[in-house]
Amino acid sequence: MKVYKFGGASVKDAEGVKNVALVLETQGFEKCLLVVSAMGKTTNALEKVVEFYFKKQDYQAEIELIKKNHIDIAKGLFSENHPVFGEISLFFDDIDSFLRRNKSPNYNFVYDQVVSCGEMISSKILSEYLNDIQFFNHWLDARDYIKTDSNYREGIVNWQETEQNISKLDKINCYVTQGFIGSESNNFTVTLGREGSDYTAAIFAYCLNADEMTIWKDVPGVMTGDPRKFENVELLSHISYEEAIEMAYYGASVIHPKTLQPLKQKNIPFFVKSFVEPKKPGTKVGNSEENELIESYILKENQTLLNVETRDFSFIAEDHMSLIFTLLAKYKIKVSLMQNSAISLALCLEDKFGNANQLNEELQQSFITQMTKNVSLFTVRNAELEKLDQFYKDKKVLLEQISKKTFQMVTA
């Protein structure tokens, strides 16, 4: 089988959905599984619903706006009496009904039950449209197949149970399912982390022993830098799993960090291609002898720089590090870069859940801290070290680090 993932940009409107069919025509629509994200900016809009719900603001008006947007998209794809309109309404009724009944104060739990509906609706619209144009497929609820723990918003996959479920699929058929979501033992929805649809595709590819997996983006493939942020970037035609994992870790937005591990375990080739120009080769990620070690640029914005020092001028020792990293895990804050001296530790942090202030307050009970928000982490992979001077131009550097051929700096 082949696994294809289509992101929100590829299905943001009716024309985008129709274009998915055109892409499938170029690839061959047989023995494949499609993973689809929420349409356009739907996830952001549903996040606003959750925010309004907890602030006791008018979240129902926000739901109606999102519903209207999906109805308008469907009007560009289906006849007015098509049953898909009833399906769309049911999904939005479910959101409203859940929020009316909910008694849980757990923000992350509520978030997962509400935000996951974006993928449910987009996948249903895509599946129905493809069936209407004779691209016959079965719609799957990913939550019936991908099982996780109860770590809402960052679900950890139960691989044994998940593989048992997915391996039962008949590989001669075509399927459409959702990215980003699974379910825990009580069948409540658990999301796999923001931008987790790529990871979903990799999970299905691994469990189906797929021949290959392709992610369809609005860029030609993996570039030497985000063309919206850097000039004169070029396409990387071949990179290794290892290089792709490094780039994802440093913040390359085109690849989700968790995606590569299951593919690497079974040596499943992974392609990143453009849904605008589907016949172009894009980037191949795999066990390639042709790994291109070209200088590449990654900018990770909205980071937090935290400096931690001991109060008694003692060394930052193992017991200090243990406490610091225990608190980082507690508040679900990820380390993008770290650097330590005898009595201090500098951490560039990714604070997806907005917990940095709480972390800082708790650390201040044992340490002296200084926190700087809204900094950027700039990484150069395969850097030409003799030309480093060019990277300092017009930048206020707060922290820098060089290792082998990777250069990093935190800038204000």
Tell me the mean pLDDT in the region 180-206.
94
Q: Is 67 in a helix, a strand, or coil?
A: helix
Burial 343-354 (b: 16+ CB within 10 A, else e): bbbbbbbbbeee
**Amino acid 69: pLDDT:** 97
Neighbours of 173 (CB within 10 A): 14
Per-residue pLDDT for 19 more than 70? yes
Separation of alpha carbons 63 and 217, rounded Å: 27
Residue 284 clears pLDDT 90, i.e. is over it: yes
Q: Is the dihedral of CA 260, 264, 265, 267 positive or negative?
A: positive
pLDDT in tens, 68-120: 999 999 999 999 999 999 999 999 999 999 999 999 999 999 999 999 999 99
Per-residue pLDDT at 313: 82
CA atoms of 232 and 146, how far apart (whole Å)? 41
pLDDT reported for residue 242: 86
Helix (H) or strand (E) holding 363: helix 356-363
Judged against a pLDDT cut of 80, whether residue 195 lies above it is answered with no
- Among the listed ranges 92-96, 207-211, 311-315, 352-356, which one has the minimum average pLDDT value? 311-315
Instruction: Tell me the per-residue pLDDT of 389-409, one tens digit each, with 9 for 90 and over.
Output: 777 777 889 998 988 778 999
- Residue 182, Cβ density class (10 Å: 0-12 exposed, 13-18 middle, ≥19 buried): buried
Q: pLDDT tens for residues 289-337?
A: 666 778 889 999 999 999 999 888 888 888 889 999 999 999 999 999 9
Q: Which range, of 20-34, 182-196, 372-386, averages the lowest pLDDT?
A: 372-386
Question: What is the rounded distance in angstroms from the CA atom of residue 213 to the CA atom of residue 114?
Answer: 28
Number of residues in the chain: 412
More confident residue, 184 or 231: 184
Higher pLDDT, 238 or 227: 238
Average pLDDT over the chain, rounded to an integer: 92
Count other Cβ atoms within 10 Å, centred on residue 342. 10
Q: Quick one: CA torsion of 273, 181, 376, 401, rounded to 10 degrees?
A: -80
Q: Which of 61-65, 293-297, 385-389 has the lowest mean pLDDT?
A: 385-389
Between 231 and 74, the higher pLDDT residue: 74
Average pLDDT of the segment spanning 365-371:
94
More confident residue, 250 or 184: 184
pLDDT of residue 289: 65
What is residue 290's predicted lDDT score, i.e. its pLDDT?
Answer: 64
pTM for this entry = 0.86
> Is residue 408 a contact partner of residue 400, using CB atoms and an 8 Å limit?
yes
pLDDT at 251: 77
Quickly state the pLDDT bin for 7 (edges 50, 70, 90). very high
pLDDT single digits (tens) 154-167:
999 999 999 999 99
The pLDDT of 119-142, averaged and rounded, is: 97
Q: Which of 357-371, 379-393, 396-410 has the lowest mean pLDDT?
A: 379-393
